Structure 1
Amino acid sequence: MHGPYILARFLQVPGKPDKYGNQWQYNSRSDRHSKVGCWGVAFDLLTASTQLRAHAAAGKVVLGVNHSMTDFATGRRKKLDLVIARPASAPETSRRTFKSLATEYGIGLTDTETRQLDELPDLQVAAVGAVLIALEAKATMTAHIKSLPRLYDELNSSHLCVHGASSAALAIGYVQINNSESFVSSVTNNRALADNPVIWSKHRQPEDTLRVIDKVKEIPRRSKSSEVGFDGIGLSVLDFKNDGGPVTIVNDPPAPQHGDSFHYDSMIVRMANEYDATFANI
């Protein structure tokens, strides 16, 4: 699986300057981490799912970016980072595709990843019909304990909205957690760092990371369409300080281990199998 490593390499390169001229690897006011996180999940799903590749090659599915879904029962609306769906109308050739998003987002791929991407059928970014897969990515990089209510509420509202719109859709949550003991927050350092000293946020690790993982495990999950919850949740634990230094993936504890339901690879395998079984006849 490549998604977490694609994300880590992407975050290592700071984004565009903010209004103070600061360039952040991670900025809580930006969605760059969630867009690339979801792109990586979609890449791995296309690689893992035979049916999804066949549907993409046949033009039976399209990609929706920042797609708003509406809960039919409550009218609640939520914008999803990325969805894979039936086209709203006959597919038309679009300049924006799944593959072109890699360039648009500035995603750097290894030679192996580039070859795999070239071998995959492409997905058009187009008007969305019935949603088949809905992806939501959330990150907790600092202030872990303070962020727990927000993290839970935002993720919980996501699967409720997705399944309120379509009980057949597969709702996937992808959570990224920082395991570093110190961090330069874009919120705390809301000023020009060229003229001011850096304020460091301190974390108690691995306790803070474990608290976030435990909170994510409280989010409802479902094994059939009549139940409530996410169809799959994957966790990636990263280690970086947000100071322009390296971004690494943590594979040892406290990160979920291979075989754990919350391990990223387990989530991809489960969701690929669920897609193949659920949407074989679309």
Structure 2
Amino acid sequence: MNGVADTSLSPSVSSANASDSEAGIVTGISALTATVFAQVAKAGNTFVSGCEFDSSGHCVIHNHDRQSSPASRTVDNGGGAQQNDVNGMAQPDRSQDGGNAEGAGNNAQMELSVEGEALLKSVEELRLSPYDDQTGQNISTWVRGATIGYGHLISKSEWPIYKNGITADQADALFAADVAPFVDSVNEAISVSLLQNQFDAAVMLAYNIGISGFSSSSAVSLINDPQTSTPYSNLESAWKAWNRSQGSVNQGLVNRRKAEWDVYSNATYEKW
């Protein structure tokens, strides 16, 4: 699937409901087109809580939403609310560069490559029937974490659309609608030049941890300025810190972070 709060809460998965008027734009899966998929994907925000961990072992909570752009999020750090933003970022340490793709300027709008899309789809795995993201089991009624296609989280109001499953072509259309905001969010959050493989890896990370989680992460801070102060010694450590689900280290996430890092650091597009 698709300031800092100092807390001991375990990560969890939840879905926010879309409005009835927006979610009701279609009455069945047969009516879905790429345009409708895009509308449905924007009908509501999906929230996923996740953790980085600071040097004291405390969970750093981010609110992950699938919005069209990485908005600043307000979190409580124990002393009042503060805003996370992604402005004012410096130039990168080019020793982090990898691969041989042509770099793009920080004002250029990059796109996910064919190789990046193929790997992300492979990692997400195609499921044409709804399933529980936490267990991997098919479901016949909506649950938090209900998922379909290539990691699309199903909000409760979307359930009537997806409950009977989708086709492979519909899954492709849904993926295209889902991934577009994450491509935009990486373009907005990263203020320095990236190679294509680095951009692809960043989109893959954002797609998994959410737009707000990505935009306010230590990984983004270190991409933009390797000298910035974070709880991590380097970018690789910050990247791979996103490895927990339900409060525990998850091997699937460990594998996923390694695959993303291999793409970022040496342009190796391989699933584990």
TM score, norm. by length of structure 1: 0.26
TM score, norm. by length of structure 2: 0.26
* Structure showing greater relative contact order (alpha-carbon pairs closer than 8 Å, 6 or more residues apart): 2
